[in-house]
Structure 1
């Protein structure tokens, strides 16, 4: 195996571990912080890294129409997504949440069909039905099920936000590249969440060192490093092949949550998760051709915390 291939597999491993760890880390931080201040503190940390990267790389500043679109991406894909995810995870186990969010590619495909007119054949509809049957099984094992306002419904709402974000961001990636688009979106999301920074600053002094370290880790690993390593993996493997690795994220998140939080998933959650992933596989493989690597490729199916 060449050194470049080893580096690409290392990038995949870092991506999976960083994105999978976000779910149990959020549950851990929620023991002492409220959902929205947690999101604000986490992305304030990420924004510092983003500003450093922008100062270093100095990408061209987007024109006003693109800046407005980045602002919308930050509102939907960062602020709304994380508020819903954090609030939902107050009652939903980390592993179950990761399986529900993992269905974002299906919602993305449905939106692309409605908004962009992309093809969505019988295999896609079958995968959608299979995946949502899995979500129903997972939700039935959580407090409140899928009732409006229950934790599982909020996390499904966060997956919908991620799907909207992917559709909104697609033309921006073509013009600005994956890393720059991610940077501008993360910065916009941090600005949308900044009104809750004073509340976060008031809560942080009373939190333990573990919680503070967790917030910093959430800002550095999933939000910044995870996207950088993912972009490198996409450039080596191509989007079609690289997205297959992300099916490992929910099992890894579940495995991390067991010793960290003492959350052992029940058989219903595991069965529902397996069914949900089967549905995502069906949708992601519909009409897929030969993978083609691209240095500016963007994940066609992002499914994890930004």
Structure 2
């Protein structure tokens, strides 16, 4: 069933920015929550457990609303979404957070707008103006310059895992947003989760700890957050926003994610947030205004 909108283009785009902003707010808690969870859960188990919980909820939603199955040509994009955002990004970030702090990893999220925009061109057929790329590259360059200034050799494995996570996430975002134009935002993430269920549920059962005794409440709450909000609810708003406002344009809102994430890391995990981190974050946030202006 094709989803269409009766709103005029301006109102449609405004709703896209609002939905995208809500999605970014929800995703901002993902890395701090993951950091808390991997202190007590194995990262691979955490990845398949969060996907399993979200997939079972997604399956229930699809059954409750009696959603039609995707068409044959929609299954391949759904598989890409599943590999990118259901398995790839959560697994790579969980592994990375064994080597780096959540505050450090959040800085890499500043690269997501560029990755999403590139895949929006390759997979979504979008064509932003040349000046857009200048602002997007500037924001990403500032992020990487800061990371280099901190010495990537201190945790090269963690940084490499974060870079790979950004790439697969950008692809999953663009693919899902493109598919959302016809399948619907929440339907895309639910079907992608369902596709992964035959893999992640058995793995979650096999990799589950022999005993959950001693697991703290903070770890359980973190698992709940990344399962319900990061893996499901956040994508409902995010894919809808990307589809409504444009992948490249709304994708630049991800430049706000480091700011919110750093604040959460400092508040909840008591991690140090340096002046340099704040300066870089403010600078890349400034780039979103210019990128937004020239995205179309």
Q: What residue in structure 1 maps to residue 102 of structure 2?
A: 94
Report the 3-state secondary structure (helix = DSSP H, G, I; strand = E; otherwise coil) of the residue aligned with 2:29. Answer: helix
Whether the aligned pair in 1 keeps the contact of 2:180 and 2:239 (CA below 8 Å) is no
The structure 1 residue matched to 2:131, chosen from 123, 130, 145, is 123
Deviation of 1:243 after TM superposition, in Å, equals: 6.2
Output aligned runs, 1:1-306, within 5 Å.
15-114=23-122, 118-140=126-148, 144-145=152-153, 150-194=157-201, 196-202=203-209, 205-206=212-213, 207-230=215-238, 239=245, 247-288=255-296
Deviation of 1:231 after TM superposition, in Å, equals: 6.4
Gaps of 5+ in 2: 1-15
- Normalised by the size of structure 1, how large is the TM-score? 0.76
Distance of aligned partners of 1:195 and 1:218 in 2 relative to their CA distance in 1, 3 Å threshold = same
Q: Tell me the C-alpha RMSD between the 2 structures.
A: 3.4
Could you list the per-position Cα deviations for residues 85-105 of structure 1 after superposition, in whole angstroms to 9, with x for gaps in the alignment?
Answer: 111222333233233224322
Report the 3-state secondary structure (helix = DSSP H, G, I; strand = E; otherwise coil) of the residue aligned with 2:212. Answer: helix
Gaps of 5+ in 1: 1-7, 289-306
Q: How far apart, CA to CA, are the structure 1 residues paired with 2:133 and 2:180? A: 27
Q: Decide which moves more: 45-54 or 266-275.
A: 266-275
Could you list the per-position Cα deviations for residues 226-263 of structure 1 after superposition, in whole angstroms to 9, with x for gaps in the alignment?
Answer: 2335567789xx52697676554322221111131111
Deviation of 1:61 after TM superposition, in Å, equals: 0.4
Could you list the per-position Cα deviations for residues 14-45 of structure 1 after superposition, in whole angstroms to 9, with x for gaps in the alignment?
Answer: 64543211111011011112222111111111
Whether the aligned pair in 2 keeps the contact of 1:20 and 1:250 (CA below 8 Å) is yes
- Normalised by the size of structure 2, how large is the TM-score? 0.78
Q: How far apart, CA to CA, are the structure 1 residues paired with 2:292 and 2:151? A: 30
